């Protein structure tokens, strides 16, 4: 292969990045600036031109999907399959390290990965055992605490309790939780990273081995790395390594789960001879769209100065549509979708993106109504579905009998007479003898063959043993198939009303097919490998790919994707930016970045829509249009007037107002009011009747407040 095929398709800055030598690199890649291209060509360059062996580099991506895509593109570029290439997510790579060197960090070779759902179950269980009041700590709070500390690289004894009793309790809980995991050889997501970091930090020989091996470390979506991931990079790069990181501070949208875009600055401090390359030419959007995005993001205080540009023409103006309510918003979008398709375009070129999942409902209903095929991204992932987790719990218990979490999950599912009380007995025995629940159950059966629960428990034990016996020599997919058949799960789901049960059973057979073509990883057994796969990978549904569908997704899941026609729906203050992010400037800036991400998804045509009235969680909300709309220069936009439907809706609304607002609360939603302390504001939402009525007022200078009408002394303006 010659240099030209790698270099020719690149612009100047891209080329600079791809051909860089012997320097830590920082690539700031704006939206649509060819980031993935740079990464893949960089890898091709290293292998083909610098003759680097493929196993001397590591490439880290944010999602499994991105990893797969990168691998494919590299293989395409090099025209040879690249096996044993270390490309994956931080978690996937950490997992690989741990399987290889489990014994170095006191892990059982057969350790199992637990997902957040499993983790939460364990936490709830433990809270009960320790008599921790759920009023004092919500299980999710403790889960969040533990994961946060792990993401920061902290073990319980590294956290300072500061005489803070609440904090001290949380630390103690973290310690107990970890104890449970260690005893059961369970590793949660954050633990994968933390353990791997410790593995390398505490084993100098191993570390230097891997430092020599991975001379080149490439990291994508660098702005979204958390503390432990950054530390992992630092460790692996060592003194001689050459890190090559690619990111965009403007697209950092995961601060709320520990991502630190500050790592971009930190990196430059830690590697003083860093060469920075900025990719600012955008190949995706029209100039109007790009300029709108630039204008919005320019309102952020904290960002690296840069401005995307394009050679593309201005294109269409950005359309802004104000609807009366969410249904009219949806109806408007349906009309535009129809136009698009009638013009001979594909539905799959259309994306409907929104801030929160709850918004998808109305859109879905409208799409169904018009018989428009659509696909929703996100929502619950395949391997997270209840029926899949149930089936896998059987599989796990059959082959890893000390897996207490799985035992608890399925011991009475379907119900077989081993309820809370029976389970308690088992738990107590397990606790006393320091054994697993499985062993405790076996002990009970051996000890007393006359007890009431004996027959039930022993039937369960026989079932699991039978599963083991009959599937031991089978292929993984046959194992799963047979275990499902013996479990009674199918019969259980059949009883569920509606289509739900039917779907569940379908999913079970899909699980079997998923296992059929599954190829394991070299470092572990196929069973371990499959279970790890189930925990670490979402299980992308590629099913509907052939069908021409409108795409629905949140703005978060839209990152990295692009569509000719994009609708950003629900552009209302309170929804986007989200209410919970409006008060804190840093959070507001993150919302603005999210808006920037949204806008830059569009290639040709962008619609921004909002509703004056929106029913959310059963109550009507009246919000002003999103402040982000005001940040787009007027000359780039085209405000579309609503049509005849206006009158219909106004009468409808007037009726609602009348019936809801009695003479005692002479306010209307949208009414401007004056408050002694907070000044002027607009009534957004109401709740309750007459004397108990409360209103939510969005004050111009104080944000939104809930006030009881009878005390608030609001003056009408």
Are residues 423 and 412 in contact, defined by beta-carbon separation less than 8 angstroms? yes
427 noted as active-site residue? no
660 binds DNA (CB under 7 A): no
Task: Report strand pairing: 602-616 vs 619-622.
Answer: antiparallel
Q: How far apart are CA 470 and CA 460, in angstroms?
A: 15
487 binds DNA (CB under 7 A): no
Residue 68 or 215: which CB sits closer to DNA? Answer: 68
| Position among 11, 104, 435, 557 found at the interface with DNA (CB under 7 A) | 557
The three-class DSSP label of residue 707 is: strand
Cα 50 from chain centroid (whole Å): 37
Residue 141 or 338: which CB sits closer to DNA? Answer: 141
Q: Where are the beta strands (DSSP E) in 335-477?
A: 350-354, 374-376
* Least distance in angstroms from the C-beta of 590 to DNA: 7
> Which string of DSSP letters, residue by residue, matches 6-74?
HHTT--HHHHHHHT--SS-EEEEE-TTS-HHHHHHHHHHIIIIIS---GGGEEEEESSHHHHHHHHHHH
Residue 116 or 266: which CB sits closer to DNA? Answer: 116
| Position among 212, 257, 469, 655 found at the interface with DNA (CB under 7 A) | 257
Per the DSSP assignment, residues forming a β-bridge with 374 are: 550
Site for DNA in 425-484 (CB under 7 A): 453
| Position among 14, 40, 63, 529 found at the interface with DNA (CB under 7 A) | 63
Q: Which of 15, 35, 42, 479 is catalytic?
A: 35
| Position among 34, 92, 184, 247 found at the interface with DNA (CB under 7 A) | 92
618 binds DNA (CB under 7 A): yes
Query: How many CA within 13 A on the CB side of residue 435?
Result: 13
Are residues 219 and 243 in contact, defined by beta-carbon separation less than 8 angstroms? yes
421 binds DNA (CB under 7 A): yes
37 noted as active-site residue? no
Q: How far apart are CA 589 and CA 344, in angstroms?
A: 39
The three-class DSSP label of residue 421 is: helix
* Least distance in angstroms from the C-beta of 443 to DNA: 17
590 noted as active-site residue? no
221 noted as active-site residue? yes
355 binds DNA (CB under 7 A): yes
Q: Which of 19, 36, 266, 281 is catalytic?
A: 36
* Least distance in angstroms from the C-beta of 343 to DNA: 30
| Position among 580, 655, 658, 692 found at the interface with DNA (CB under 7 A) | 580
Match 């590629």 to its residue by tokens.
542
Are residues 294 and 307 in contact, defined by beta-carbon separation less than 8 angstroms? yes
- Of the ranges 73-81, 269-277, 611-619, 662-670, which one interacts with DNA (CB under 7 A)? 611-619
36 noted as active-site residue? yes
> Which string of DSSP letters, residue by residue, matches 333-367?
HHHHHHHHHHTT--GGGEEEEESSGGGHHHHHHHH
704 binds DNA (CB under 7 A): no
Q: How far apart are CA 29 and CA 179, in angstroms?
A: 43
370 binds DNA (CB under 7 A): no
| Position among 225, 251, 310, 554 found at the interface with DNA (CB under 7 A) | 554
574 binds DNA (CB under 7 A): no
Q: Which of 143, 251, 554, 600 is catalytic?
A: 251
Say which residues have a Cβ less than 8 Å from residue 11's Cβ, sequence separation at least 6: 34, 281
Are residues 60 and 88 in contact, defined by beta-carbon separation less than 8 angstroms? yes
626 binds DNA (CB under 7 A): no
Binding stretches for DNA (CB under 7 A): 62-65, 89, 91-92, 115-116, 124, 134, 139, 189-190, 256-257, 355-358, 378, 381, 412, 415-422, 453, 536-538, 553-554, 556-557, 578, 580-581, 587, 615, 617-618
The residues carrying an active-site annotation are 35-36, 220-221, 251, 601
């Amino acid at each position: 292969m010659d240099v030209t095929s790698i270099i020719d398709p690149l612009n100047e800055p891209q080329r600079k990045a791809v051909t860089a030598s012997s320097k830590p690199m920082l690539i700031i890649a704006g939206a649509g600036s060819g980031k993935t291209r740079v990464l893949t060509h960089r890898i091709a360059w290293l292998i083909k031109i610098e003759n680097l062996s493929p196993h001397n580099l590591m490439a880290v991506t944010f999602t499994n999907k991105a990893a797969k895509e990168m691998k494919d593109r590299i293989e395409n570029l090099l025209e040879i399959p690249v096996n044993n290439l270390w490309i994956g997510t931080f978690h996937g790579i950490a997992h690989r390290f741990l399987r290889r060197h489990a014994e170095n960090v006191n892990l059982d070779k057969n350790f199992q990965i637990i997902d957040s759902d499993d983790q939460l179950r364990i936490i709830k269980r433990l809270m009960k055992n320790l008599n921790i009041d759920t009023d004092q700590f919500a299980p999710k709070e403790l889960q969040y605490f533990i994961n946060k500390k792990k993401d920061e690289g902290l073990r319980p004894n590294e956290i300072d309790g500061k005489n803070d009793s609440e904090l001290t309790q949380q630390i103690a809980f973290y310690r107990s939780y970890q104890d449970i995991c260690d005893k059961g050889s369970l590793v949660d997501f954050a633990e994968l990273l933390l353990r791997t970091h410790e593995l390398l930090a505490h084993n100098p020989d191993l570390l230097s081995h891997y430092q020599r091996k991975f001379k080149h470390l490439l990291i994508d979506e660098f702005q979204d790395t958390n503390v432990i991931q950054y530390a992992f990079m630092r460790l692996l790069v060592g003194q001689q390594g050459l890190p090559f990181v690619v990111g965009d501070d403007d697209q950092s949208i995961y601060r709320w789960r520990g991502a630190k875009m500050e790592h971009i600055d930190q990196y430059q401090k830690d590697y003083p001879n860093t060469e920075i390359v900025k990719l600012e030419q955008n190949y995706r959007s029209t100039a109007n769209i790009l300029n709108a995005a630039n204008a919005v993001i320019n309102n952020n205080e904290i960002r690296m100065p840069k401005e995307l540009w394009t050679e593309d023409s201005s294109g269409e103006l950005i359309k802004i549509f104000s609807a009366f309510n969410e249904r009219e918003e949806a109806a408007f979008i349906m009309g535009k979708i129809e136009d698009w398709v009638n013009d001979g375009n594909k539905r799959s070129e259309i994306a409907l993106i929104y801030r929160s999942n709850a918004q998808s409902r109305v859109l879905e209903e409208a799409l169904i109504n018009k018989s428009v095929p659509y696909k929703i991204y996100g929502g619950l992932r395949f391997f997270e579905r209840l029926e899949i987790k149930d089936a896998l719990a059987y599989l796990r218990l059959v082959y890893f009998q000390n897996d207490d979490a799985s035992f608890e999950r399925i011991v009475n599912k379907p119900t077989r007479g081993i309820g809370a009380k029976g389970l308690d007995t088992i738990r107590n025995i397990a606790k006393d003898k320091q054994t697993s629940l499985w062993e405790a159950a076996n002990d009970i059966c051996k000890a007393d063959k006359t007890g009431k629960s004996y027959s039930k428990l022993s039937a369960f034990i026989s079932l699991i043993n039978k599963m083991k016996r009959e599937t031991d020599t089978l292929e993984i997919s046959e194992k799963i198939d047979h275990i499902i058949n013996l479990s009674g799960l199918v019969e259980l789901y059949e009883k569920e009303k509606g289509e739900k049960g039917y779907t569940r059973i379908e999913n079970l057979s899909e699980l079997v097919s998923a296992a059929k073509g599954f190829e394991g990883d070299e470092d572990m057994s196929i069973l371990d490998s499959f279970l790890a796969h189930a925990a670490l990978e979402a299980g992308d549904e590629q099913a509907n790919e052939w069908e021409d569908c409108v795409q629905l997704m949140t703005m978060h899941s839209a990152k990295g994707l692009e569509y000719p026609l994009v609708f950003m729906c629900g552009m209302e203050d309170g929804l986007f930016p989200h209410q919970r992010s409006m008060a804190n400037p840093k959070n507001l800036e993150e919302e603005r970045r999210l808006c920037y991400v949204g806008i830059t998804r569009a290639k040709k045509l962008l619609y921004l829509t909002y509703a004056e009235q929106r029913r959310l969680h059963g109550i009507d909300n009246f919000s002003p249009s999103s402040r982000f709309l005001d940040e787009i220069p007027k000359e780039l936009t085209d405000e579309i007037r609503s049509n005849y439907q206006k009158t219909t809706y106004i009468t409808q609304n007037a009726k609602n107002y009348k019936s809801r607002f009695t003479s005692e609360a002479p306010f209307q939603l949208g009414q401007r009011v004056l408050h002694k302390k907070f000044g002027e504001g607009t009534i957004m939402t109401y709740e309750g009747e007459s004397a108990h009525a409360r209103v939510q007022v969005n004050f111009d200078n104080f944000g939104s407040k809930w006030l009881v009408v009878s005390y608030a002394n609001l003056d009408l303006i």
